[in-house]
Structure 1
Amino acid sequence: MAEHDPTDPAPPSPAGDPHHVLAATGATDDRTRVLKHNDAFAVFDHLGNIRPGGLGEQGLYHDGTRHLSCLILDLDGQPPFYLGSTIRDENDQLSVALTNPDRLRDGRIEAPLGTLHLAVRTFLREKACHWQLRIRNHGPAPVDASILLRFRADFADIFEVRGMRREARGRDLPPEVSADRVVLGYVGLDGRTRRTLLRFAPNPDRLTEDRARFERSVGPHEEVAIELAIACRGEGEDAEPPWFAEARATVEAASERLKAGSCRVRASDGRFDAWIRRAESDVHMMTSDLPTGPYPYAGVPWFNTPFGRDGIITALQCLWLRPDLARGVLGYLAATQAVDEDPGQDAEPGKILHETRNGEMATLGEMPFGRYYGSVDATPLFVLLAGAYYERTADRAFAAAIQPNVEAALSWIDRYGDRDGDGFVEYERRTADGLIHQGWKDSDDAVSHADGTPAIGPIALCEVQAYVYAALRAGAVLARALGTPDRAAELDIRADRLRERFEAAFWCDDLGTYALALDGDKRPCRIRSSNAGHCLFGGIASPEQAARLARGLTSPDSFSGWGVRTLAVTEARYNPMSYHNGTVWPHDNSLIAYGAARYGLQEIAVQVMEGIFAAGTYFDLNRMPELFCGFDRIQGEGPIPYPVACAPQAWAAGSVFLLLQACLGLGVSGVERQVWFHRPQLPSFLPEVRITDLSVAGSTVDLLLVRHGDDVGVNVLRRTGDVSVVVAK
């Protein structure tokens, strides 16, 4: 059998659901390393290589296209010996430590293991990946080292990488090779030319279209360096990427600017502190700078693009400490709000974006996601966020600027959301290529009846009614702030009526929960699901049922020990490995915990946070993944990962901050210039939490929270400006 070349592309995947991430083979090592900056991201293996195989997601990507599909480092014709690798705490650099294996010559060890230290450092800046190798000889004699870098660019669309097959694709351009560089190119069927520039320093001893070789003699305690800049170029772009040191200085300066103006959370427990720090870094890394302001992209590798629902929820999770995210999300979604009907994009006037894509397949319309509006919940969530942002910041000028967008969204709820006039908002896709289910659980099998049969639309999800209720309340807040009290009163009356109708139609007393949904025949889907917990978050749940609902969600059938499952174990479609039918999602849990706290059930919030945090300590880099499997927690064992979960994922990282907010009963009001804590609690393992530079309408405050048994004391360490701190027991 011929030896397999690791640079060979993976075999083509069978055609399938464009919304499904194909996992035709198992991953050989789950320790992938992820970097992102704005519209570029990269996925490496733990050795710092980009290697075909496994799930096939590794590569350097920009704007929906993989610009590098292979980058493999060899030392003397074989892989170096792996010592360790990590992503810096700031998420801005991958550092890999390698060495030489024992080198034999004529039956004796010429250079023993550990003679050479190979330090590989990689980071992204804008459209370029910067790679540096430093080789230091720690031995007593010179060592000859032969360094080989193999590379390849397949220019695959992200949907091809996910498993979609195409009937045809564009053409590769002839490689351009000179003394210090290689340019690989591709002309897509969309007519756009995409190129990848690989620029080396110093010049390789031999350079071809797919490999660079360096021959070096390294003296005792001497160091040699090799640099590679990999630039993703679009049509007409020919700017030279900077070298490593210059680009690195830019990254570090940006990091210092961010730290200088940010609210910080620190904890006395080292594990909890590491969890918080990684979440801070993940939210920062996932946030891209758009003309409308910062926007948290959904997740890497599959969702590195603006998603309406994900961006809104991440902004809500981080609102108390980073209101700038909410403003950026609202600005972008207002600018991309639908103004016309377009069934092919599931677009209707006033509707808020589901997702947007810029790759070749999106441009060609091979799927509808170039600019797609197939979310039933993003529109009411947009209004909810607009009201929450105003209350948090008192930014009346911005509220006035987006008020037409808020009113357009409320109009969509009335005209298009409530399709049959029954007072509930439903969805049903208008294009055959669109999403069948358009809530946050959008896989094809996400909504069913108790016997497991699929629910047929139009479908009214329980959490969507909660979001609409919250949107009506938020719209009323904005209307009062902007001087239209009659409009505010109208919206409040509508919210009250919706709550009454919802209680009558959705509450299942024998199950102790709200039905997952009403189907097209108005039959309730009598399923115990995590969706009902969002009714606590939105505030539509009646006070009489809230405690019963929350305790049901944290009962053994629904709570795995690590978190609330998307579906209880008693349900027909329960599967702890199913994307939406039994797994645990951190963002889902954070909304449930926050909802429990708003009904005064802080002990439920603490239970949920303790489970999610405990799971987080087992995941690589203390990073919360998009989701993980819903198997029962077993003493001494960690949670089981979901095989194709995004990590990092913006709303998974943001869940950390909403969970903490829920436990503390924390609220921040720029309108009232106040920070308040309602029945604050901390888990038993966490003695102290410190919050610094919390901004409130131009003022700032530093706080120290100290647990005393079941009580939490709030100490004001520093205060500038006019802001009050209130604690309600």
Structure 2
Amino acid sequence: MTTQLEDRKIDPAVALPAIDETAPREPHRQFALKHEDCFVVADSYGDIRGTGDGLFRDDTRVLSRFRLFIGGRMPSLLGASLSQDNILFTANLTNLATIGPNGSEALPGVVHVDRTRFIWQDRMFERIKFTNYSAREVVLPVRLDFDADFRDMFEVRGTMRSRRGRAHDALVGEASVTFRYEGLDNVARQSAIAFSIKPDQVHPDHADFLIVVAKRDSRALYLEVGHSEETPSSDRFRAAAARARFAMRSKRRQGATVFSSGRVFNDWLTRTRADIALLTTDLETGPYPYAGIPWFSTAFGRDGVISALQMLWLNPDLARGVLAFLAHYQSTETSVFDDAEPGKIMHETRKGEMAVLRELPFGRYYGGVDTTPLYVYLASSYADRTGDEAFVDRMWNSLGAATAWMEEVGARNGDGFVTYNRAADTGLFNQGWKDSSDAVFHADGTIPKGPIALVEVQGYAFAAYQGMAALAARRGDDAKAAHWSALAERIRQAVETHFWMPDRDFYALAIDGQGKQCAVRTSNAGHLLYVGLPAAERAQSVATQLLSGHLHSGWGVRTLADDEIPFNPMSYHNGSIWPHDTALCASGLARYHERDSVVKLMSGMFEAAVRFNMRLPELFCGFTRAASDSPVAYPVACLPQAWSAGSAFMMLQACLGIRVDGWKREITVERPRLPIGIDNIVIRHLAIGQAKVDLIFERIGDRVVCYLDHRHEGLVPLVVRS
């Protein structure tokens, strides 16, 4: 029978061994959990050290330090993992040699420490289970160190503030500690840590326990961290975990699912789908994929739209939720500070103290030049996928306002290009998807003066005008349809005239405020293929160079060719590899019938994912792939990242050549290919209208055939073009 903890008290005269902050550690890895607007990032031990990690709620760090010590030392790491559904983090640890306060010794490696954690409804639940495999009772001096600095997310990222709110003294209870902070926004924030076992000693920054475990027995300590103090227990832990898993299971089942003949390939798709579900937050307007953890766990316009486009063929409800949210927060006024103008679509929203106080413009910020045309394009793509005329009707005024903003910007410079030039110094210097300050440049590396017309943004505008023309025609408005068709053709011709570099057979990155080309070869040109702007001959030239050794590393498409002056494979945007960028390029190649090249790109990205433990990060370094090499991680990349996860499904669609026509209630498959090493793929419950079908792809010899499961024959027309 396990001896009760209350029978063994720590003698204040007996000091615990000094905490060894320099103990050797395993290679650094971060693990993230999330539910709605609360997430936690910790290392392989489950520890939070207070650098970029922590427990965050509404863009505020409510737990900045949380570390486990046994006998004054860090335990030894056996391994760490996330459950396949992204709900549970588990660190498997064991003790080093420890001496209890009565002089008893616990030999190293005799106690297994199972540290399991999850997030549910703004609360972190944790169970630390000690299992004694020795032949005698062990007494473990256990310490938990903790702190809450209530730093705004932007402070955690490095932004300095001239003053902060007031941190109150922590309230110390018998089995709890509550941290309190009153922000400059007059919001009282608090974070309470509570334990299922009463500590032997509890202080404002740590709690000490004597955990007594009989031979061949176990003992568990439960704890919770939330806004208010609750009493942790095994029952609460199990009940909350069950609810969290049920909610995640419901999210993962939304839309069609994909299964293949490849076990490892399936593991990748399963993890990817779980990551998208993890990042998708249920807002009042519907589901919205938050961009990424830790820095971007909020609604971003561009990221949300591209993630929705990636998943549109499988789960159009995600696109509907994104469109509804962005329409709700569409700008109706001009604000220099917020980079807002009527009709513009939001780039980013934040809930933290600094955003509320407008120390930064990101409370609701509109400084993204590409979000508005992408929003319009997503709406037309959603309509084509679903045939949902009622939703388009509700969106029509918003879409008209967004398109009017594009036209107005185009009229300012006379050539129809959608350009940016930040309105205030507090805003983003560059406002395309490559938004770092050095991401747009001339061939000699100099930074151009604005306003800047990015090549891919003109492609998005072209697609948006085309989409609006098609929707207007369906609504019987022939005049507007003709108007938007003419704008699409005008911008197409302007791109071909002003962006094409005849000496390099490629499109320039941008046109600066003086009409000069930023004459460098970047992945941005691949986005033109995605929307179908270039003529076939030029598209072929772009495709050839995207797949050349200068831009294709062997893992994916680099953001910048390696023979350009500013190239740096370790940079954020000037030579790195972004999975979503590669996926857009792959989808563009498929549009121009380069299906085998798509298979090549997907193979490289899948192999990279395997080496990243089945999770593609936000980006990774653009070093050339060599035999037996692994892709090189970018040190502060978000993981998971929504559009990196979604890239797997965008590339798969490009391989399979699937298009779902919601107007005709028809599925078209054109020149299908299967990924390397995969002999069959089944897409289950693919929705088209009111019907749901199972679509099967199978390799037979050197051909790939596609057919509907027999149970669904006759419900939906399937057109296959080989």
TM-score (norm: length of structure 2): 0.94
Aligned to 1:306: 299
Is structure 2 residue 173 aligned with structure 1 residue 178? yes
- 1:561–1:632 contact (8 Å) kept in structure 2: yes
Deviation at 1:110, TM superposition (A): 4.9
Given residue 46 of structure 2, which amino acid in structure 1 is its aligned partner?
G
Given residue 34 of structure 2, which amino acid in structure 1 is its aligned partner?
K
Aligned to 2:654: 662
In structure 1, what is the Cα distance between the partners aligned to 2:585 and 2:719? 24
Deviation at 1:710, TM superposition (A): 4.1
Aligned to 2:434: 441
In structure 2, what is the Cα distance between the partners aligned to 1:718 and 1:103? 65
Aligned to 2:399: 406
In structure 2, what is the Cα distance between the partners aligned to 1:700 and 1:614? 32
Is structure 2 residue 32 aligned with structure 1 residue 39? no
Aligned to 2:333: 340
- 2:195–2:231 contact (8 Å) kept in structure 1: no
Aligned to 1:577: 570
Match of 2:211 among 211, 216, 234: 216
Question: For structure 1, which segment, 72-81 or 443-452, has the greater mean C-alpha deviation from structure 2 after superposition?
Answer: 72-81
The Cα offsets for residues 404-459 of structure 1, whole Å up to 9 and x where unpaired, read as 11000000001135432221111101011111111101111111111111111111
Match of 2:155 among 153, 160, 168: 160
- 1:418–1:426 contact (8 Å) kept in structure 2: no
Deviation at 1:709, TM superposition (A): 4.6
Aligned to 2:192: 197
SS at match of 1:646: coil
Percent sequence identity over aligned pairs: 44
- 2:590–2:598 contact (8 Å) kept in structure 1: yes
Deviation at 1:354, TM superposition (A): 0.6
Is structure 2 residue 95 aligned with structure 1 residue 100? yes
What's the Cα RMSD here?
2.1
- 2:100–2:140 contact (8 Å) kept in structure 1: no
SS at match of 1:398: helix
In structure 2, what is the Cα distance between the partners aligned to 1:101 and 1:6? 12
Deviation at 1:321, TM superposition (A): 0.7
Structure 2, unpaired ranges of 5+:
1-16
Given residue 668 of structure 2, which amino acid in structure 1 is its aligned partner?
W
Aligned to 1:11: none
Is structure 2 residue 56 aligned with structure 1 residue 75? no
Question: For structure 1, which segment, 506-515 or 586-595, has the greater mean C-alpha deviation from structure 2 after superposition?
Answer: 506-515
- 1:700–1:719 contact (8 Å) kept in structure 2: no
In structure 2, what is the Cα distance between the partners aligned to 1:30 and 1:349? 46
Aligned to 1:421: 414
- 1:92–1:124 contact (8 Å) kept in structure 2: yes
In structure 2, what is the Cα distance between the partners aligned to 1:702 and 1:310? 29
Is structure 2 residue 622 aligned with structure 1 residue 630? yes
Match of 1:676 among 668, 671, 678: 668
SS at match of 2:193: strand
- 1:120–1:134 contact (8 Å) kept in structure 2: yes
Distance 1:418 1:109, change over 3 A: farther
Deviation at 1:268, TM superposition (A): 1.8
In structure 2, what is the Cα distance between the partners aligned to 1:49 and 1:419? 53
In structure 2, what is the Cα distance between the partners aligned to 1:589 and 1:79? 41
- 2:409–2:417 contact (8 Å) kept in structure 1: no
SS at match of 1:654: helix
Aligned to 2:130: 135
- 1:341–1:347 contact (8 Å) kept in structure 2: yes
Aligned to 2:481: 488
In structure 2, what is the Cα distance between the partners aligned to 1:395 and 1:208? 59
- 1:200–1:226 contact (8 Å) kept in structure 2: yes
Question: For structure 1, which segment, 704-713 or 63-72, has the greater mean C-alpha deviation from structure 2 after superposition?
Answer: 704-713
SS at match of 1:47: coil
Aligned to 1:297: 290
- 2:73–2:96 contact (8 Å) kept in structure 1: no
SS at match of 1:343: coil
SS at match of 1:682: coil
Aligned to 2:350: 357
Match of 2:679 among 669, 687, 696: 687
Match of 2:547 among 532, 540, 554: 554
SS at match of 1:622: coil
Deviation at 1:104, TM superposition (A): 6.8
Distance 1:240 1:427, change over 3 A: farther
- 1:419–1:425 contact (8 Å) kept in structure 2: no
SS at match of 1:617: helix
Distance 1:718 1:368, change over 3 A: farther
Give matches, 1:579-594, under 5 Å.
579-594=572-587
Match of 1:146 among 141, 144, 153: 141
SS at match of 2:458: helix
- 2:252–2:277 contact (8 Å) kept in structure 1: no
Distance 1:7 1:39, change over 3 A: farther
SS at match of 2:580: helix
SS at match of 1:594: helix
Deviation at 1:338, TM superposition (A): 0.3
SS at match of 1:656: helix
The Cα offsets for residues 244-274 of structure 1, whole Å up to 9 and x where unpaired, read as 1121111122133334544211222222212
Deviation at 1:99, TM superposition (A): 1.6
In structure 2, what is the Cα distance between the partners aligned to 1:130 and 1:618? 30
- 1:701–1:718 contact (8 Å) kept in structure 2: no
Deviation at 1:96, TM superposition (A): 1.2
Deviation at 1:719, TM superposition (A): 4.6
Aligned to 1:704: 696
- 1:128–1:241 contact (8 Å) kept in structure 2: no
- 2:442–2:518 contact (8 Å) kept in structure 1: yes
The Cα offsets for residues 637-681 of structure 1, whole Å up to 9 and x where unpaired, read as 101111111111110101010011111111112222122211111
- 1:76–1:146 contact (8 Å) kept in structure 2: yes
In structure 2, what is the Cα distance between the partners aligned to 1:122 and 1:144? 24
Is structure 2 residue 535 aligned with structure 1 residue 542? yes
The Cα offsets for residues 209-241 of structure 1, whole Å up to 9 and x where unpaired, read as 1212222321122221111110046xxxx8888
Match of 1:383 among 376, 380, 398: 376
SS at match of 1:558: coil
Deviation at 1:332, TM superposition (A): 0.5
Deviation at 1:49, TM superposition (A): 0.9
Deviation at 1:275, TM superposition (A): 1.4
Distance 1:181 1:104, change over 3 A: closer
TM-score (norm: length of structure 1): 0.93
In structure 2, what is the Cα distance between the partners aligned to 1:344 and 1:4? 51
The Cα offsets for residues 23-77 of structure 1, whole Å up to 9 and x where unpaired, read as xxxx98431111111111111000111123xxx1110001111000111111222
Given residue 667 of structure 1, which amino acid in structure 2 is its aligned partner?
R
Aligned to 1:640: 632
Given residue 414 of structure 1, which amino acid in structure 2 is its aligned partner?
E
Structure 1, unpaired ranges of 5+:
9-26
Distance 1:490 1:722, change over 3 A: farther
Give matches, 1:490-505, under 5 Å.
490-505=483-498
Deviation at 1:109, TM superposition (A): 10
SS at match of 1:596: helix
Distance 1:418 1:163, change over 3 A: farther
Is structure 2 residue 65 aligned with structure 1 residue 59? no
Given residue 698 of structure 1, which amino acid in structure 2 is its aligned partner?
Q
Aligned to 1:117: 112
Alignment size in residue pairs: 700
SS at match of 2:518: coil
In structure 2, what is the Cα distance between the partners aligned to 1:717 and 1:223? 51
In structure 1, what is the Cα distance between the partners aligned to 2:576 and 2:705? 36
Aligned to 1:272: 265
- 2:422–2:429 contact (8 Å) kept in structure 1: yes
- 2:104–2:139 contact (8 Å) kept in structure 1: no
Deviation at 1:482, TM superposition (A): 2.9
